[in-house]
Amino acid sequence: MTARYTFGGDEHIFVEVDEEMSLEAFFKSLSITNAVKQADIKGVTEICPANASFQIKFDPDRIHPDDMMAELKRLEESAGLAERVLNTRIVEIPVYYQDPWTHETLMRFRERHQDPDATDIEYAARINGYGTVDDFITAHSGAPWFVSMVGFVAGLPFLYQMVDRPRQIQVPKYLRPRTDTPRLTVGYGGSFSCIYSVRGAGGYQMFGITPMPIYDPHQTVSHLKDFMVFFKPGDIVKWKPIDRDAYDQAVEDVDAGRFAPVIRDVVFSLDEFNADIDGTNARLQEVLHAG
């Protein structure tokens, strides 16, 4: 992978690590941005890793743009793929698939959809070759997902499915974006799943909703008191299908300050994953459910 560097005005450098998303591209982006943090380069004001790219914001009065570009290229050479082992965490996210709130919303926007006669999840199941929606839910929730970036709106994670490429789910976005999406909708667009952190416009297919808040600017939610945004790049997510009763109980627990996400510290090796994808995923889930 040869990175492509471009200036973005006077204060940004954008680096495209690869033209297509892969865990290798993400790890390279992560290793370089971490190296930028550790280098403590004068004038750097913001570091934003993404799916297969990253962007650096800097103060041109403190460091010349050409010097910033040269520094990044130097760090790319030294960082390489050194961080192929990541100390991270795996989080279990409950999902109420085919919930009434996203269903009501999607029915209001069928004229913007590829298949006006089907729901989003029915359409996704069909075009991915699954015989039933239940089979599709099993595939969507069966393997872990990597948080490759957080953004677009505050706290929204983009999640990349941790399976070999032939098994990756692919679903296009709506033909035209909606003007409404319920907060905490679990969506899908292209090869990425996501959680809408706030209510608003959106174009991803809607599969369900989670009761677990992931963004709280007031930091009143018990698991967001330390930081208003829950996810960070490198987190691993495992979806847990739940029914209406479990959803209502989780919402009640959130409101009462009792909700505690299931989180475990894990060590993820990209080389081990590439050598045995299903075995690595099974070990990750064993760690998640241990204790």
If you average pLDDT over every residue of the chain, what do you get?
Answer: 94
Which domains, and CATH codes, for the chain?
4-83 (3.30.1360.40), 87-289 (2.40.100.10)
> Are 267 and 21 contacting, i.e. CB atoms less than 8 angstroms apart?
no
* Close Cβ partners of 18 (under 8 Å, ≥ 6 residues apart): 1, 24, 25, 28, 52
For 236-260, the pLDDT digits (tens) are 999 999 999 999 999 999 999 999 9
- Look up residue 234 and give its two tokens: 């490198």
CA angle 69/157/249 to nearest 5° reads: 160
For the chain, what percent of residues have pLDDT higher than 70?
98
Distance separating alpha carbons of residues 34 and 89, to the nearest angstrom = 17
Please give the model's pTM, rounded to 2 decimal places: 0.90
